[in-house]
């Protein structure tokens, strides 16, 4: 029966910028550990981790994938995460439940933008990590250059445990600075032979070895004393001190190699086993008692009450929903009942599976640290805490960043609106970073996400999984109309056509309200010039007329209307007649009150490296934006500003190209402002053309 001691488990997220070789490294880990017969290739579509058609088409990881391998009697759970910022929510969710991370850096590209982002996430969760410099065999690979960029870009020094032998196409092995041995890899299986350290490297090895010993000693007072006394540490002291320093976050070990050539990968596996934490090393996990702020702690102990967190959901039209979770405490068996503390509901597990990329392996029982999946849960979603009902706890979940790009979606086949809604809701279960709503004003269905690729992938999934095809277009801007002047106007409706007629007559005072004032109706009728039962009908007529303004058909806002006078007919007057009179009077009055067009203004927060400040501010000004302030965050600058929504509907790809993919932004609605006349003319002309 499957069961591992939690002390022998390692839960590791593989993270880094896109196209640094994360998935290739996973394939190499499985191959060298003997889990697979040959390493899968991303570019050939044979990877066990990038198995979704959308991933194979684009040659990038879109979904985090889970798998495991065994090494030196340890079980290592691997989560291969996306490196594209469009799918950062998935990466952050994996880091939330892992005990450590391997940060992949490309030997040519160095520390890139998304690497900085995932480093920040790992900091947030206080995760011990290893840096793996990959692709040392590539042209222009620069070990020293990457080493230099790490403290500059990540704000933390890395301590090499290995040095490369050779570079670019002559890269053939590594020097182990702990054992002081050279290992040269002599075939594609990653097998190697120990050799003497190349003579031309002896000085370099001595320098880096000394640096490593100093870094370890600095993290432990007793080791520092010993080092100052003797100038050296024994192998055991070094390993013990190194492990303690990595677990505390005081030191980040660095390994180098080539995932495609399997060089240095077995050394990385040794480093994972020797220096990264088990669930037991990570210690208790804190949550809250449901409905309170009282802290509840769960120990990674088999005898503790069961608790786990759902970090991913896969929507499958055939197999139903697959729920993936990590156990934090206690044990759970298949066919057991559990409590969903986030939703206050109870459900039953069916079979429990360990994930091996796209395949699954059934198991009977799980222990703290296990990562597993269960099918066909009805109420449980990403971010939920599941536990025993007698000892409920809620762990803090990852909140998706606000979406930055939106499209209006329309069905390609008539009558598919309902299918769109149900299929997008299924996809949101899988990817909470996608949002979907119907805009009441523009009557459009709006799909929002973290960028164009995110939305396109969502559309491809809808077609593949649920057979729904849609078209995307830029959403309409929800403009509004208002007035700047005042007037007193008559609204009169009189109709006589045999039998009983229709008669309603009202006088209205129309004036502007402050921005954001909405609508105010004041009944100023004195005496019975309009009977009480007809006055609400006047207001109803005005409210209906406000839905379509006189300039371009947009809703009218920030207006005060007072009903001041009128006349009625004892036989012909009715609620309908006064409703029409109110509507006619309002439309006529608005024309006399200097109607203007309003546009939504958003607060925007742009985070960029310092060197792009001039370009980004210049671009923001060209979009009619204004800068309200600046802040710094690490090596980056944050620009706070306001800009019309119409100007940033396609801002995501623009800022990416402007900042070489290193700029990010978020925005939120702020208020409405008057549209400049020359732009208003164009909007009004377009709107009239559309109406015709």
pLDDT value, residue 55: 74
**Domain match, 124 and 223 both:** yes
Structure tokens at 415: 């009558």
> Please, which residues bridge with residue 511 across strands?
560
End-of-domain residue from the set 356, 387, 418:
387
Q: Is the pLDDT of residue 658 over 90?
A: yes
Of the CA atoms within 13 Å of residue 559, those in its CB half-sphere come to: 31
% of residues, the chain, pLDDT over 90:
76
Q: At what angle do helices 221-230 and 235-248 cross, to 10 degrees?
A: 140
Q: Specify whether the backbone of 98 is left (phi greater than 0), alpha (psi in -120 to 50) or beta.
A: beta
Same domain (yes/no): 496, 639 = no
Three-class secondary structure assignment of 528-582: CCCCHHHHHHHHHHHHHHHCCCCCCCCCECCEEEEEEEEECCCCCECHHHHHHHH
Residue 229 has pLDDT above 90, yes or no: no
What are the C-alpha distances in Å from 221 to residues 157, 213, 230, 242, 291? Answer: 20, 13, 14, 13, 44
CATH number at residue 437: 3.30.70.870
pLDDT, averaged across the chain = 92
In a domain, 399, yes or no: no
Average of per-residue pLDDT across 498-504: 84
pLDDT of residue 186: 72
* Reported confidence tier of residue 482, pLDDT bands at 50, 70, 90: very high
Within a domain: residue 396? no
The domain that holds 107 is classified in CATH as 3.40.50.300
pLDDT more than 70, % of the chain: 98
Q: What is the model's pLDDT at position 1?
A: 41
- pLDDT, greater one: 634 or 132: 132
The 10s digit of each residue's pLDDT in 372-388 is 999 989 889 999 999 99
Local structure of residue 190 (DSSP, 8 states): -
List Cα–Cα distances, 540 to 199, 528, 573, 580, in angstroms. Answer: 92, 20, 16, 9
- Are both 468 and 501 inside the same structural domain? no
What's the pLDDT score for residue 324? 96
* C-alpha–C-alpha distance, residues 408 and 684, integer Å: 21
pLDDT, position 54: 76
Confidence grade of residue 338 (pLDDT, cut at 50, 70, 90): very high
Within a domain: 1: no
Higher-confidence position of 46 and 118: 118
What CATH number does the domain containing 331 carry? 2.40.30.10
Cβ–Cβ < 8 Å for 472, 455: yes
- Residue 576, in any domain of the structure: yes
Q: Identify which has the larger pLDDT, 415 or 255.
A: 255
Query: CA–CA separation, 13 vs 98, rounded Å?
Result: 6
Q: Are residues 348 and 438 in the same domain?
A: no
What is the DSSP secondary structure assignment for residue 593, as one 8-state letter?
Answer: S
- Per-residue pLDDT tens for 195-223? 899 999 999 999 999 999 999 999 999 99
φ and ψ at 135, to 5 degrees? 65, 40
Same domain, 376 and 362: yes
Which of these three, 419, 453, 473, is where a domain ends?
473
444 SS3 class: coil
Q: Radius of gyration over alpha carbons of the chain, in Å? A: 32
SS3 label, residue 289: coil
With respect to residue 395, please indicate whether it lies within any of the assigned structural domains.
no
Confidence of residue 496 (pLDDT cuts 50, 70, 90): confident
- Rounded to an integer, what distance in angstroms lies between the CA atom of residue 554 and that of residue 684? 10
What's the DSSP call for residue 373? E
Task: Compute the average pLDDT of residues 549-573.
Answer: 95
Query: Based on the domain organization, do 530 and 619 belong to the same domain?
Result: no
Cα angle, residue 436 at apex, residues 434 and 441 outer, rounded to 5°: 145
Q: Is residue 447 part of a domain?
A: yes
**What local confidence, expressed as pLDDT, does residue 278 receive?**
97
Q: Confirm whether 181 is domain-assigned.
A: yes
What's the Cα-to-Cα distance from 608 to each of 40, 490, 614, 620, 663, rounded to whole Å? 36, 57, 11, 13, 5
Given a cut of 50, is residue 342 above it in pLDDT? yes
Residue 429 in contact with residue 317, Cβ under 8 Å? Answer: no
Cα(683)–Cα(552) distance, integer angstroms: 8
CA distances from residue 592 to 489, 493, 509, 588 in whole angstroms, order as listed: 9, 19, 12, 7
Domain boundary among 593, 623, 638: 593
| Torsion angle of C-alpha atoms 562, 568, 570, 576, degrees rounded to 10 | -70
Residue 409 reports pLDDT greater than 90: yes
- Whether 397 is in a domain gets the answer no
Whether residue 172 is found in the same domain as residue 275: yes
Domains contained in the chain, number = 5
pLDDT tens digits, 20-72: 989 999 999 999 999 988 877 777 667 777 677 677 777 787 889 999 999 99
Residues 278 and 289 in one domain: no
* Structure confidence at residue 459 (pLDDT): 94
User: Which phi-psi region, left, alpha or beta, contains residue 357 (left: φ > 0; alpha: ψ -120 to 50)?
Assistant: left
Residue-wise pLDDT tens digits, 585-641: 999 999 999 999 999 999 999 999 889 999 999 999 999 999 999 998 877 899 999
The parent domain of residue 294 ranges over 285-387
Judge if 432 and 558 occupy the same domain: no
Are residue 186 and residue 307 in the same domain, yes or no?
A: no
Distances (CA, A) of 242 to 156, 276, 685: 16, 10, 70
pLDDT tens digits, residue range 261-304?
999 999 999 999 999 999 999 999 999 999 899 999 999 999 99
Same domain, 301 and 444: no
CA distance 56 to 45: 5
3-state secondary structure 37-69: CCCCCCCCCCCCCCCCHHHHHHCCCCCCEEEEE
Per the structure block, which two tokens stand in for 560?
A: 């005060």
**In a shared domain, residues 158 and 32:** yes
Tokens encoding 437 = 């709503």
Q: What average pLDDT does range 326-355 have in this prediction?
A: 93
Task: Provide the CB-side half-sphere exposure for 311 (13 A, CA).
Answer: 28
Query: What is the token pair recorded at 189?
Result: 């299986």
Residue-level pLDDT at 62? 80
């Amino acid at each position: 029966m499957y069961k591992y001691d939690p002390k022998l488990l390692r839960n590791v997220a593989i993270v880094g910028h896109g196209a640094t070789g994360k998935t290739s490294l996973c394939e190499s880990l499985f191959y060298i550990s003997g889990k697979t017969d040959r390493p899968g290739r991303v570019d050939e579509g044979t990877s066990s981790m990038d198995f979704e058609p959308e991933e194979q088409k684009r040659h990038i990881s879109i979904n985090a994938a889970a798998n495991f391998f065994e090494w030196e009697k340890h079980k290592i759970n691997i989560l291969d995460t996306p490196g594209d910022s469009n799918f950062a929510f998935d990466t952050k969710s994996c880091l939330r439940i892992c005990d450590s991370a391997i940060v992949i850096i490309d030997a040519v590209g160095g520390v890139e933008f998304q690497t900085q982002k995932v480093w920040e996430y790992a900091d947030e969760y206080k995760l011990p990590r290893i840096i793996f410099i990959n692709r040392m065999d590539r042209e222009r690979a620069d070990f020293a250059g990457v080493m230099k960029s790490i403290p500059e870009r990540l704000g933390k020094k890395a301590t090499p445990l290995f040095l490369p032998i050779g570079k670019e196409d002559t890269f053939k092995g590594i020097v182990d600075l702990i054992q002081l041995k050279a290992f040269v890899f002599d075939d594609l299986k990653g097998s190697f032979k120990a050799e003497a350290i190349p003579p031309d490297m002896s000085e370099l090895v001595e320098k880096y070895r000394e640096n490593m010993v100093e870094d370890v000693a600095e993290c432990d007072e007793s080791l520092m004393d010993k080092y100052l006394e003797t100038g050296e540490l024994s192998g055991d002291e070094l390993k013990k001190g190194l492990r303690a320093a990595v677990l505390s976050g005081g030191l980040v070990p660095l390994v180098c190699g080539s995932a495609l050539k399997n060089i240095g990968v077995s050394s990385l596996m040794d480093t994972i086993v020797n220096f990264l934490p088990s669930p037991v090393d990570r210690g208790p996990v804190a949550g809250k008692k449901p409905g309170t702020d009282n802290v509840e702690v769960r120990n990674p102990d088999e005898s503790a009450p069961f608790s786990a967190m759902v970090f991913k959901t896969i929507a499958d039209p055939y197999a139903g929903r697959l729920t993936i979770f990590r156990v934090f405490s206690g044990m759970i068996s298949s066919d057991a009942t559990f409590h969903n503390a986030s939703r206050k509901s109870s459900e039953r597990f069916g079979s429990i599976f360990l994930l091996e990329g796209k395949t699954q392996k059934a198991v009977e029982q799980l222990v703290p640290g296990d990562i597993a999946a269960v099918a066909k849960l009805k109420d449980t979603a990403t971010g939920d805490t599941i536990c025993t009902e007698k000892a409920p706890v809620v762990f803090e979940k990852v909140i998706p960043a606000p979406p930055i790009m939106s499209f209006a979606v329309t069905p390609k086949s008539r009558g598919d609106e309902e299918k769109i809604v149900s299929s997008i809701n299924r996809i949101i279960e899988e990817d909470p970073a996608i949002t979907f709503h119907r805009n009441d004003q523009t009557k459009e269905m709006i799909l929002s996400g973290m960028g164009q690729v995110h939305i396109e992938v969502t559309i491809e999934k809808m077609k593949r999984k649920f057979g729904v095809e849609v078209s995307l277009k830029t959403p309409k801007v929800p403009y509004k109309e208002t007035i700047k002047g005042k007037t007193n106007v008559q609204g009169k409706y009189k109709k006589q056509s045999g039998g009983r007629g229709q008669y309603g007559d009202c006088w209205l005072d129309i004036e502007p309200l402050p921005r954001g004032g909405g609508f105010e109706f004041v009944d100023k009728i004195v005496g019975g010039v309009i009977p009480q039962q007809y006055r609400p009908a006047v207001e109803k007529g005005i409210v209906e007329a406000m839905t379509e303004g006189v300039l371009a058909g947009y809703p009218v806002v920030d207006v005060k209307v007072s009903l001041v006078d009128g006349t009625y007919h004892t036989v012909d007057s009715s609620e309908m007649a006064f409703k029409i009179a109110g509507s006619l009077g309002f439309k006529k009055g608005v024309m006399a009150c200097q109607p203007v067009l309003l546009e939504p203004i958003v607060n925007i927060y742009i985070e960029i490296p310092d060197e792009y400040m001039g370009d980004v501010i210049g671009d923001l000004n060209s979009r009619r934006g204004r800068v309200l302030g600046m802040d710094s965050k690490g090596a980056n600058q944050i620009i706070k500003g306001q800009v019309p929504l119409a100007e940033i509907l396609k801002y995501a790809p623009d800022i990416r190209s402007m900042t070489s993919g290193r700029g990010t932004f978020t925005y939120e609605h702020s208020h409405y402002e008057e549209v400049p006349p020359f732009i208003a003319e164009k909007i009004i002309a377009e709107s009239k053309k559309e109406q015709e």
